[in-house]
Structure formats: C-alpha cells, structure tokens
Structure 1
C-alpha cells in the first residue's frame, strides 16, 4: 500500500499558497491608487467621474443582483452505438441548462447553474447520458486585482483537459466541489491552485458512480513570456476516498506554441500511486504533437504515450476529458482511469477545414500496447473519425461518426452522434 510523503507534499502546497499570497498582495498594492488633491477634487462630481469600484459601492447589494444575467440552453442529441455481436443501441436525449449569474458587489459575485437531462426514447444502456436533474454549478467568487477566488461547485478545465477537465461532450458534465485561487499579477504568468473535496462525475448523483469523495490538490502554473510558446508546470495530487485506485501523484511539464503556420505541443509527466491506492507503480506520460496550416486546411500528427510499469500499474487520468483523446469511440476508458493494463501508445493524424462556414474534420488513430508482456497484446486496434459542424441561424448542428476496428483489444464498434444546440 502506498502513501503520500507528507513532507514534500505539504511543502509544495505551502509554497504555492505563499507564492499566490505574495502575488495577490503585489496586485492589490498596484491596484490601490495614491490619494492626490486632483483625485479628491475629481470625486466631487460622482456622476461624471466615479470609478467602477465607487459606482459599485454606491449601488448596494440589491442593485448588484439586478445587474446579473441568465441564459437558457438546450442540447438535443441522438446517439447510436453498434457493437459487433450485440444489438445496436439508440438514445435520444435533451439537456436543458439554466445559468444565473449575479452582478459584482465589492468584488463578490455568485453563479448557479441547473441541468436537466431527459430521455426522449427508451434507455437501453450503452450510452453514458443518464436522466436526471441536478445543480451543475453553484459558487461564490471574489475578485481582487489579479486574484480570483472561487468556492463551491465549479467547472475546472486545465490546459488541454488531458489531466483535469469537464467531459463537456456528455450531456451531464463533470464538475468539482472545492476551493480555487488563480492569480495573474506576475508578468506573463498564470498561477492556479485548487483543493477538491468531491468530484461530480458524468453518471449523475443517482448513480453509485456519480460522486467521488476526495482530498485532492491541483497546482498549475503557466509562463507565456517566451516568444515560442507557453511553458506550464503542474502537480496533481489526487487522493480519492471513494475509489482509492484513482489516487495518484502526477508531476509534469508542458510546452505549447506556434510560429507562422506551424504549431506544436511537447509534454512529459511522471506518476506514482498515492494515498490508499493498493497498487505500487511509477509510469510515464509523453506527448509530441505538430500541426501545419496549409491554406484553408489544418493538418496535425502526434504521438501520445500513457505508459505502464509492467503488471504493477499504468499511467491513469481519472479527472480528464477522456472523450477528447485516443479516439471518440471511448474504447479505452478503463473504468474511468483512461488506460488499460500494459499502457497505450496512440499514433494519430488529423485534417480539418471550413467550407462555407461548415467545419469538416477527419482523424485516424493507431493504438498499440506500451508493454505487450503486461497486456498480452501488441496492436490494439485502429479508429477512424469524421465530424461535420455548422450553424443554422442560432442553432448549432453537428454530425460526428467514429469507427473502431479491433485488432487484439475489444471488438469492432461504430458510433454516430447527431446534435443540435442553442442558447438564449
């Protein structure tokens, strides 16, 4: 059984808090103007010269609430899943989302977001969009200068969502209960820290898989002052009380940027089992990705590795937006871990363009085992994807298709999604 080493973990978190606190202090000092005779004289005419802060102060709490906003969104989808050797499954569903935000009062604001997912056809399983009504987000925010604090249930999307995301493609989004602080007062730098006590997963609160009790810290810092791109370092310290096999410590570096028609991503991370995880392993993650824009066509290719430590364990990403990676067919979810025994190598290419305002994209994935001795497999399978998306007035429309051709892992599977969405 593994355990966090209290010293380094506590030191890392404390250092991050200290850095954010120092940056916040500098930001507040910089944002506080010095009193001058001319400033005092200007303030005599409140109507014509009042700053946003002083106007906000004069409005009062009730007035700040009236400055809020509400949006109502609908997303209808029909998903068809055809697994070789089984009957095809078809589910039509409608997600209704109401989002209400308040105005700002002395830097404080609030947000409440409700989701309802209704099945429009019989549910036969095989589609991860359960019926239900729940609070997707509810949070209190406070902004002071370059520092923003949020407490409550909230959306957290870090970098490309490979490690922490919201699984926004599904009708029921993944959100997080906890506290976050972000700061941008240092030049070209963004610092982020979160403590998470619960993960609201896509399966809904009525499912035993819907909530994961957690004592998790997420640390992420990015520096964008380099001409070639943004350098990001992170530490994701997951202590999952509900599913201890998800408990890991992950440390990594990411570099992403572009120059002219060329874009690129490089990333490396190392992970070890942590907290009450019954496994004892250490595994690597690696990403090399390049893109090139050739007139109206965007081309990209890449290599992604979620490695394995023999039969001891493999690199997992339980908080990721897994649908974005390793193909849209979701063949390698691994029970929510995002990997399977022996690890996964993903070699992929994609092409995309826009024709008369309609987005068209194609992609291909060759998926292999990282450690054939641990998995008992070498070539896992191939996947082909196709997407067409556009707008008809205020309504967004899309058709997405994915075909998984099995080699040594799982069976052939076809999936088709037809989606229409609008927000008012």
Structure 2
C-alpha cells in the first residue's frame, strides 16, 4: 500500500497521544519513562542543472522508553516512523526520482536505538547496542540529528573516569545505520571493524584538551576506510565586562587502512577564534581538509550538515582538498510577549582547494529559531551556494516545527 508508512505513522501518533497522559503520570512512580519527539519539516531545493525543483514535506515521530537504573543496569528502546506528507516531488535516494534534487528523508518505520547500560560504579559505564554516538563538535563522529533519520552505530562502548577531569572512551562498532535508511544501497554499512578511542582532559583555565584515534575499516565503502589520530583544544577566557574570548584549535592526520585501495597521508586543521559580547557571538574560522589530487581527507561518520555550509555540497571532500574560510554570527533575540529564547544565525563560507589555486565557490546562510512553548519550537532556515568551479548553484529553504514530550 503506497500510503502504508503515513497510515502507520498516524496510527502510532494517535495511539501515543491517547496514552501519553497516563504514561506521564505512571512515570512519576514507575521506573520506565516514556518520551516522544514529533517533527514536521518542509524542505525546498532549487539546484541548477536539474530539470525539477524539490519540494519535500515530511513528518517524523520518534518515541521510546527509558528505564531507571537498577543495580547499575538501565536500558533504552526507541523507534521512529518517517512519512511523506504531500506530493512526491523530491529524490529521497530510494524512489528513483533523479530529475529532482536529493532530500535524504525516505519514508520508513524502523528501530532507531536499543541499548543496555551497566554502571557498576560512578567511574565506569559500559553500553552495548544500537546507539547515537556524538563526540565533541561531531566533526568526526555524530548522529546527524538534522536529518529525519539518525545515523546510529551498532556498537559496544566503555567509558571510564579514572580521576577527576579525565574521561576515557573506547568504542567498537560493527554496523553503521546511515540516514538513508535500510532500503537504500548506501543505507547500511555492515561487517565493519571500527575502533573509536576518545579522551578528554579538563585543563582549566585553558580549556578542554581532547585526544582521539578513529580507525575505520568499512568494506561496504572502502574509500572511507581510514585511520585518523588528532588533538583538539577548545576553551574560553573572560574579558572585560560580559565579553568572552572563544577559541578552538584542532589538528589531525589521516591515513589509509583496511580495505581502502588508495595510499595517502593527509592533514586536517581547524583554527576558530571567536568573541561573545552580550547577546552576540561572532566566530571566524579556517578549516582545512587536505587532498592530494587523487584522495582527500574524509569524515564519513560525522554530522556533516553542521560543517562547510548548509547546502551540503561538501559531504564528500573533493580530491584536491577543501579550505573553508568562514564567519558565523549568532544573536540571542530579545523576548517578545511570551516568546523567549529566540535566536538568529548568519554564516558565510569561502571555499577553495588545498591543492592548486582552485576557487570552488561561496555560500551564505541564515537561520531563525523560535521556541513557542517549552515543548514546541520552530525553525526557518535558508542557504545559497554560488558555484565557481565546483558543483552547481543551489538554494535551499527549510521550515520545521518540532514538539518534544
């Protein structure tokens, strides 16, 4: 049945709405806590070179149950349903509508997370199962919360806090559940040998010092197989009045490994100073992902939408590398009547290659977030990529409403 995902979503939503008050009351005395997240989004894409513009109207219901801790044990199970609402005027990566731009939100009903946690003492925590994993700013490892379907890992993780201010995290993942969903040929990476090593040191007053090693052997995507070792420092310093200096510095080296047929050693560099003064935060940055003309540094498990522009032109780093020189301004807006916590954001990117004098293009973006209540929020977002020698001119617009219970 063509409308089966939508009908299932509506049925699940109605059922949850009917029982949610009772579940919320029961949760006060019961060790099981229910929760739900409903998000509607309209995404419009105008991409030069394609005969049609995309109009993607989708809704997602995510609901789950989380247990309280009992003798160090706790668990979570979470499902989600994603459905198209309206015409099928976009390429969701599985419907074959290649005349339209890609909006990677295919309809589906699936298990998003299911894990068990064991915490025998407060300094040790072990977790196994399907899980959303986010490290630092999600540049290397992230759950891609922007898309309707999360990126999750089937993994086992061990977190240790041996002394105050030190956190050690090791994870082993054998399956990557990507945002494209299980019906897509690129939706699941199976039989992986992925090792994630991550360590944080609270080095106040300087900031947080992070060291990491990400070793990815991905047979289903051999060009994404790599070993990356790096270090990151992020912190802030108080200036006069309410002003603060922000800074983030990061360096990493990535090499081929496992099933990757290419041979390379490539560098990553981030320099991001910023300043906060009152309600305004201004950041400038240089991010450099090196390429040698044949291979380039890649971040296949990252929350990629958060980096290198919102039009997503650089989800895969070009072979000649990527140098992103950018500015980002965030503003906390004053309250209007009962609306408090609204914020606006403006960003600009200038994209070039790291090898040769190649000007890829530029992009600017604007976003407005407005909370309606404590549970309901709205987002309006626009970005425009102006191509010079890479990809094509593209405009994207989003409107979203999200409710969390």
Band of TM-score, shorter chain: 0.7 to 0.9
Deviations 1:58-91 (A, max 9, x none): xxxxx99941100011000000000124321101
| 1:245 alignment partner, SS class | helix
1:271 aligns with 2:254: yes
Unaligned regions of 5+ residues in structure 2, if any?
1-26, 92-101, 239-243, 336-340
Unaligned regions of 5+ residues in structure 1, if any?
1-62
From the CA coordinates, give the structure whose radius of gyration is larger.
Answer: 1
CA distance in 2, matches of 1:271, 1:413: 30
CA distance in 2, matches of 1:66, 1:197: 34
Give runs of ≥4 in structure 1 deviating > 4 Å.
none
For residue 39 of structure 2, the aligned residue among 57, 72, 75 is 75
Count matched residues. Answer: 353
Asked if structure 1 preserves the Cα contact closer than 8 Å seen for 2:169 and 2:197, the reply is yes
1:296 aligns with 2:279: yes
Give the structure 1 partner of residue 266 of structure 2. Answer: 283
Which of the pair is proportionally richer in helix? 1
CA distance in 2, matches of 1:65, 1:371: 61
Give the structure 2 partner of residue 110 of structure 1. Answer: 75
Give the structure 1 partner of residue 161 of structure 2. Answer: 184
1:153 aligns with 2:130: yes
Asked if structure 2 preserves the Cα contact closer than 8 Å seen for 1:64 and 1:103, the reply is no
Q: How has the CA–CA distance of structure 1 residues 64 and 361 changed in structure 2, closer, same or farther, with 3 Å as cutoff? A: closer
Trace 1:132-151 onto structure 2 (pairs within 5 A).
Answer: 132-145=108-121, 146-151=123-128
Asked if structure 1 preserves the Cα contact closer than 8 Å seen for 2:376 and 2:401, the reply is yes
Asked if structure 1 preserves the Cα contact closer than 8 Å seen for 2:322 and 2:354, the reply is yes
Trace 1:1-400 onto structure 2 (pairs within 5 A).
Answer: 66-86=30-50, 87-123=52-88, 124-125=90-91, 126-145=102-121, 146-213=123-190, 214-260=192-238, 261-308=244-291, 310-334=292-316, 339-355=317-333, 356=335, 357-372=341-356, 378-393=358-373, 394-400=375-381
| 1:287 alignment partner, SS class | strand
Give the structure 2 partner of residue 401 of structure 1. Answer: 382
| 1:411 alignment partner, SS class | coil
CA distance in 2, matches of 1:92, 1:68: 33
TM-score w.r.t. structure 1 length? 0.81
What root-mean-square deviation, in Å, do the aligned CA atoms of Structure 1 and Structure 2 show? Answer: 1.5
Once the two structures are TM-superposed, the CA of residue 319 in structure 1 deviates from its matched residue by 0.4
| 2:173 alignment partner, SS class | strand
Q: Structure 1 residues 237-246 or 360-369, which shifts more?
A: 237-246
Once the two structures are TM-superposed, the CA of residue 185 in structure 1 deviates from its matched residue by 3.0
CA distance in 2, matches of 1:295, 1:137: 39
Deviations 1:214-272 (A, max 9, x none): 11000000100331101110000001021111110000000000001101000000000
| 1:178 alignment partner, SS class | strand
Once the two structures are TM-superposed, the CA of residue 294 in structure 1 deviates from its matched residue by 2.2
Deviations 1:373-403 (A, max 9, x none): xxxx610000001000011123100101000
Give the structure 1 partner of residue 13 of structure 2. Answer: none
TM-score w.r.t. structure 2 length? 0.85
CA distance in 1, matches of 2:296, 2:48: 28
CA distance in 2, matches of 1:188, 1:348: 32
Asked if structure 2 preserves the Cα contact closer than 8 Å seen for 1:64 and 1:102, the reply is no
